[in-house]
Structure 1
Amino acid sequence: MARAETARGRVQPVRNHELLLWLWRLLSSAQLAVALIGFLALAGLLAVVLPQIPVPLRDSPAAVGAWLEVQRGKFGPFTEPMHWVGLFTVVATWWFLAALGLLAVSICVYTADRFLAVWRNVTRPRELVPDSFFERAANRVAFVTPRAAAGEDASARLQALLRRRRFRVRTLAEAETTYLFADRFAWAQMGSFVTHLALVLFLAGGLVTRLGGYTNALFIAEGTASPVFPVSHPEQMQVEVVDAVGVFGESGAALDYRSELVIYQGGREVARGVATVNGPLSYGGYRFHQAGYFGEGAALRVRDVGTGNALYRETLALEELVPAPAITVRGDAGALLVDDVIVPTDFIGEASGTLITVPGSGRQFWVGVTQDEEEVWNLVVYEREDAEAGFLVPAGESHTAGGLTWTFAQATGLPSIVTSGIPGDGDRAVVVLSETPEGTPYLTVLGPVDGRALTLYPDQPVQIGDREYLFEGRREFAGIEVRRDPGANFIWVAAGLLLIGLLITFYIPRLRLWARVRPQGTVVAGLAERSGVFQSEVERLMEELGVTTVEGKQGAEGDA
C-alpha cells in the first residue's frame, strides 16, 4: 500500500521527445509568427517616433554621453532607463535581433511542418470521393446528361473539354457510373512556400549584411585621397578623386553628380572609373557611390622658402557664407569706376566690410554691409578722410555723394571658412573665395600675417618673410559612400521570389473538380483556392456541353 502511494505521488518526468514536440508545435504556430510580427512592427514604430543615436556616434562613449545630455531636456529622468533598455538604438538591441531570428526560425518550422502535407496533396491528391460528397459539397452543379452523349460518350466528351482547358484528368468506371477527377495548376499550391522562403531570405540578407556589411561616408577633394577604413585594416584602400562634376539646371536644381575615382590598395592602382549616384564603381566586393557634391573648395599651400619644405597643404571646404556687397560706383560724367563684389576683411559688430580706393579719384572709403531690424541689407559707406559723412544705401537703390554715385545691387554670400593651422602669426584665419569681374577666382586670407589680408591669385605665390603662400586653385569635393553589402544578393533573390509567390497565389489558383457521370444526370463538384473560380469554370464547361443547370450550389471556396 505504501509502495502504491509512493508511486502515485511521484512526479512524472517530462520526456525529451515530448518537450521537443511541444517546442515544434510552438514554433510552427501561426499565432506565434503573428505575435512576433506585431512586436517587430511596434519596435519599428518606436524607432521612428523616438530619436535614435546616430550610427557614427555609437562607438564613442563620450559622443553617446553628449547626445544623451541633449535628450535629457526632453525625457528628463527617464533618459538613462530608456537608453539602458535600448529605446535609443532599437534596431541594434539584442531583443530586436532576437525577435527577428525567432521569426525566421518560426517561418522555417511553419513551412517544414506543412510542407509534407501540401506536397502529398500536390503530388498524390485524393482522386476518388464518396457519393455523399456530390450531395454536400459547397461548390456543386448538377445537370441532365444529354441523350446524345449518354454514358461513356458523355464522360469522354467531358474529359476532352477538361483536358483542353489544361486539366489533368483521371477516370474510374463502375457499372453505368463514371467518376472523373480533374486537377489544374496543382503546383500553384506551392506558391505560399515560395513566399515563405522569400521572407526567410529577407531576414537572412539583413543578418548577413549586419554581420559582414560595411558603410563609410568620405568627403574628398579633387586631387586628394582618403582611406576607406578609419583605422588599420587588412583590406585598407585609398580612394582618390581625380575629378568631381556637378551639373545644375537653370533653376539651380542638381541634374547630375559624378566623379572620376581611382582605387589604390597596397600602394598600387587596382581600379579606376566613374561613380554616379546610381552607378557605383565596384572593387573587391565594395561599391563606391557618389553620395554628394560640393563645389566650393580652395587648395592652399604654404612652404618654407629656405628649405622648400611644405609647411601646410590643405584643400579647404568653404562651407560658410560671408555677406559681401555687390556695388557699382560712377563718377560725375557717369564713367564706371567700380563694378565688383567687395570682399570683407573687417568685421565690426553686425557690419562686415573693407577699405577700398576708388580708381581715378584717389579717395578711400570703408565699404561694407549690414542688416537692419527688418532684415533688409544696407550698404555702409564711410570716406576715410571724412568719417562723419557716412551713409547707408538699401539694396537695389543708389546714392550720390561727393561727386560719386553708389549703387548697391545686392548682398551676396561668398564661400568662406574659419580655420586653424595656417602658418603665420595668428592661431585662426578666415579664408574667403571670390572672383574678379573677369571671372578669375582669388583667395583672401585674413589673420596669419599680422592681421593683414593676403590676396592670392591662382599659381601666383606671395612671399611674406620666410614663408610662401600659394593659392593652387579652386577645387570641388565629392561625397563618396563606400558600401559592402553581402546580403544584397539575398535581398534581390527574396524580392524576386516574393513577386513570383504572390503572382502564383493570386493569379494562378489551383482548381480540383470531381464529376459523377450517369445516364440520368451529371454532378460536378469542386474545391477552388479563390472565390469565383469554380463558378466561372463550370459555366464555360456547361456552355460547351450545351446543357443547363438543374441544381447548383455556390458556397465558400477553399482548400479541404
Structure 2
Amino acid sequence: MRTALFLLLLLAVAAIPGSTFPQRSIDAARTAQWISDHPTAGPILDDLGFFEVYASPWFAAIYLLLFVSLIGCVVPRTRVHWRQVRSVPPRAPRRLERLPAHREVVVDGTPEEVRERLRGALRRRRYRVHAHDDTSLSGEKGYLKETGNLVFHVALVGVLVGVAWGHLLGWRGDVIVPVGSTFANTLSRYDTFSPGPWVDPNDLDPYTLRLDRMDVAFETEDTGPGQFGQPRDFRASTTFTDGDGTERSEEIAVNHPLETGDGTVFLLGNGYAPRVTVRDAEGTVIYSDATAFLPEDNFYTSVGAVKVPGAVPEPLGFAGFFLPTGVIDDERGPHSVFPDTLDPQLALTAFEGELFPGGRPQSVYTLDTEAMEPLPGDEADQLRILLRPGETFELPGDRGSITFDGVERFAGLSIRTDPGKTLTLVAALTSLTGLVASLVVRRRRLFVRVGPADEAGRTVVAVGGLAKDDDEGMDDELAAVLTTDEGPR
C-alpha cells in the first residue's frame, strides 16, 4: 500500500509539466513557438517528453507501475478477507475486563436463557455470532469496512483501465464551422485532430453536419455590475446526415451535445467570421472566404489573420481586429463596446512576404511576420485599414484590393470519442461507494460470558468489546446490546 501511495503521488507530480508547458497534441503552434523562444531549454525538454507528457514513456511507466502495485495490493488482501469472512469469530477471552470496553451486570434468568436472549440481541445488531462453549458468545461485524476498502482499490484499477482504454482508442478533433457551411467527418476537415495510438484517422464514421443557424443572446440591460453584454444563451441549429443519407435536425447547446454514434459533438464556443474578398490588380479574385476571428474579451473584440498565398508579386497577409460594435480611441486602440454586431468594423494591418517561414506550424488566428515586410501607408510608416461591411480598400503599388463583404457567425465544435468513459464513470462511482463504506462502517468484536449469580434465578453477564481501530462508540454499543428488547435488562 505504501508503494501504491508513493506511485500515486509520483503520478501527480509527473502530471505537473502537462499543465505547465504547452502540449503538442493540444496546440502544436504554441509548442513550436515556446521551443523557438527558449532555444536552450526547449530542445532538451522536448527530448525529455515535456511537451507530450501523457504520451511519454516515463509517464506510462509510472502509470503501469501504479496499476501493477494496486493489483499486487488487492489480490493478497482479497484472499485474507475471504478467509476472514468464512471463518467464525474468535473465542471469548476469559477476562473480559481487560478489553478496552467492558461491562458486567446481574440480570434475572438462568444462564442458558440469558445467553439465548443475548444471541438474539447480537444478531439483531447484525453480528455474526458463534458459541465456542456453553457459557460464552463471540460476535463480529463490520466486514463491509474491508470489503469497501477492497472495492475502492479494485475500482481504482477500473479507473486506470478506463482512462487507458480511452487514451488508446479515443480521439478528439476541433473545428470551426461558419453558418451555412458543412462539416464532413474526415481527417482533412479538422482544424486540430488528436488520435489515440490505436486509432486509424482514416477510418472515421462518415457523416456530415451543416450549421444552419447560430443563435446567441446577450444581456442588453445593465442589471448589475458586469452583467451588461454577458451571454445568456448559445444554440447551434444543425442538419445532421449519417452515413446512410438520413437527415435530421439537431440542436447543439451548452451542456446539450449531439451524439453521432462515433463521437459526441460539443459546442465549445462561437464568434464572428468576417467574409473578406481579395482581388489582384486586374480585379481577379484570389481569396474569398469567411475567416474566423478569435474573441478576446466579453465584448468579442476579436483577433485574426487573413492569409493570401496566391497574391502577386508576393503573398499577402492581413492581421488585426474584428469589432462587432467598434470604437477606436487613443487610449485603448480598436475595441468593441458590445458583443453583438451593432456597428461591425474590420481594423487590419497589411504585410507581404513569406507566410510560413521555415514551414513551422502556426495558429490560424495569428500572422507570423518574421519573414514579411509591412506595406507602407500614405502618412504612417505602416498601412492601416479600417473597413465596414461593403467597403473596399485599394492596396498600394498595384497590389489589388481588399473588400469587407459582411459578417457571419461561426460555431467552435469539438468532436470527441472516449470508449472508456462509461467504465471510468462506473468505476469512479464504485470507488466512491467503497470509500464511504470503508470510512463509515466500524469493525467490531463483542464477547459475552454468562454465569450463575449468588442469588437463585439470577445470572452474571460480562460483556467486552474490541474495535479494530479507535472507536469511541464501543461503550454505547455494549449498552445497546444489554438494553435491547432481546437482551437482559
* TM-score between both structures, scaled by the size of structure 2: 0.69
1:528 aligns to 2:467 (yes or no): yes
Match of residue 144 from structure 1? 105
Whole-angstrom CA distance in 1 between matches of 2:92 and 2:146: 20
Match of 1:70 in 2: 37
Equivalence for 1:83? 46
- On the 8 A contact 1:145/1:519 being kept in 2, the answer is no
Residue 214 of structure 1: CA displacement?
0.8
Matched, 1:297 2:273: yes
* Distance (Å, rounded) in 2 between the aligned partners of 1:319 and 1:430: 20
**Partner in structure 2 of residue 353 of structure 1:** none
Who is 2:311 aligned against? Answer: none
Q: For 1:99, what is the secondary structure of its paired residue? A: helix
The 8 Å contact of residues 281 and 289 in structure 1, kept in 2 or not, is answered as yes
Q: Distance in 1 between matches of 2:402 and 2:83?
A: 86
| Cα gap change, 1:97 to 1:376, in 2 (>3 Å) | closer
The alignment of Structure 1 onto Structure 2 pairs a total of residues equal to 390
Checking the alignment, whether the CA contact within 8 Å between 2:347 and 2:384 is kept in structure 1 is yes
Amino acid at match of 2:123: R
Aligned to 2:291: 316
The separation in 2 between residues aligned to 1:302 and 1:241, in whole angstroms, is 25
2:391 alignment partner in structure 1? 444
CA deviations over 1:393-437 (Å, ceiling 9, x no partner): xxxxxxxxxxxxxxxxxxx8724567899xxxxx99998664xxx
Match of 1:159 among 119, 136, 156: 119
Q: Which residue type is aligned with residue 523 of structure 1? A: A
Q: CA deviation at 1:290?
A: 0.4
Paired residues of 2:349 and 2:385 also in contact (CA < 8 A): yes
The amino acid that maps onto 2:215 is V
Rate the CA distance shift 1:96–1:266 in 2: closer, same or farther, 3 A: same
Change (3 A) 1:415 1:517: farther
Partners of 1:103 and 1:277 in 2: how far apart?
A: 36
Alignment of 1:217-296 (within 5 A): 217-231=174-188, 233-235=202-204, 236-250=206-220, 251-264=228-241, 266=243, 268-269=245-246, 272-294=249-271, 296=272
Bigger CA radius of gyration:
1
| DSSP-derived class of the 1:144 partner | strand
SS at match of 1:233: coil
Aligned-partner Cα distance in 2 for 1:104–1:118: 21
| Cα distance between partner residues in 2 of 1:543 and 1:490 | 47
Q: Deviations over 1:330-373 (max 9, x none)?
A: xxxxxxxxxxxxxxxxxxxxxxxxxxxxxxxxxxxxxx9762xx
Structure 1 residues without counterparts, runs of 5 or longer: 1-29, 304-308, 322-367, 379-411, 422-426, 435-441, 457-470, 548-560
Residues 516, 215 of structure 1: alpha-carbon distance in 2 compared, 3 angstrom cutoff: same
What amino acid does structure 2 have at the position aligned with 1:164? R
Q: Are the counterparts in 2 of residues 226 and 238 from structure 1 also a CA contact under 8 Å?
A: yes
Match 2:411 to one of 432, 453, 478: 478
Question: In the superposition, relative to structure 1, how do residues 220 and 452 fare at CA in structure 2: closer, same or farther (>3 Å)?
Answer: same
Cα 1:369–1:110 change in 2 (3 A) is: closer
Match of 2:10 in 1: 39
The 1-side partners of 2:402 and 2:48 are apart by 56
Query: Deviation at 1:41?
Result: 2.4
CA contact (8 A) 2:258 2:266 kept: yes
What pairs up with 1:357-436 in 2 under 5 angstroms? 371=330, 375=331, 414-416=345-347, 434=388
- Matched residues in 2 for 1:117 and 1:83: separation? 47
Deviation at 1:110, TM superposition (A): 1.0
**Cα gap change, 1:198 to 1:433, in 2 (>3 Å):** farther
- State the alpha-carbon separation in 2 of the partners of residues 455 and 291 from structure 1: 30
Change (3 A) 1:275 1:112: same
Contact 2:449-2:461 at 8 Å conserved across structures: yes
Q: Measure, in 1, the Cα distance between the counterparts of 2:266 and 2:79.
A: 46
- Amino acid paired to 2:44: P
**What stretches of structure 2 of length at least 5 have no aligned partner?**
189-200, 221-227, 297-326, 335-342, 353-373, 376-382, 454-459
1:268 partner SS: coil
Contact 1:262 1:269 in 2 (8 A): no
Distance 1:310 1:529, change over 3 A: farther
2:359 matched residue in structure 1 = none
Deviation string, structure 1 residues 212-239 (Cα, Å, up to 9, x no partner): 1111111110010234443472225433
Aligned residues of 1:369 and 1:377 also touching (Cα < 8 A):
yes
Aligned residue in 2 for 1:558: none
Secondary structure of 1:242 counterpart: strand
C-alpha contact 1:140 1:523 (8 A) present in aligned 2: no
Letter in 2 for 1:43: A
Which whole-Å CA distance do the structure 2 matches of 1:270 and 1:431 have between them? Answer: 43
Give the secondary-structure state (helix, strand or coil) at the position aligned to 2:22.
coil
Query: For the Cα contact (< 8 Å) 1:319–1:416, is it kept in 2?
Result: no
Do structure 1's residue 487 and structure 2's residue 456 form an aligned pair?
no
Relative to 1, partners in 2 of residues 1:443 and 1:523: Cα closer, same or farther, differing over 3 Å? Answer: farther
> SS of 2:439's equivalent?
helix
Aligned position for 1:52 = 22
- Secondary structure in 1 aligned to 2:11? helix
Judging by fraction of residues, say which structure has more strand.
Answer: 1
CA distance in 1, matches of 2:269, 2:411: 6
The corresponding residue for 1:350 is none
Aligned to 1:552: none
- State the Cα distance separating 1:252 from its structure 2 match: 1.1
Q: Is the 8 A contact 1:145 1:518 kept in 2?
A: no
Q: Is the 8 A contact 1:318 1:416 kept in 2?
A: no
Alpha-carbon contact 2:278-2:400 (below 8 Å) kept? no
Aligned to 2:361: none
* Secondary structure at 2:481 match in 1: helix
- Structure 1 CA distance, aligned partners of 2:261 and 2:435? 35
C-alpha separation in 1, matches of 2:479 and 2:79: 34
Matches within 5 A, 1:169-184: 169-174=129-134, 177=135, 179-184=136-141
Tell me which residue corresponds to 1:186: 143
* Mapping 1:326-365, distance limit 5 Å: none
Q: 1:483 to 1:377 in 2, by over 3 A?
A: closer
| Percentage of pairs with the same residue | 24
Match of 1:407 in 2: none
> Once structures 1 and 2 are overlaid, which stretch shifts more, 476-485 or 534-543?
534-543
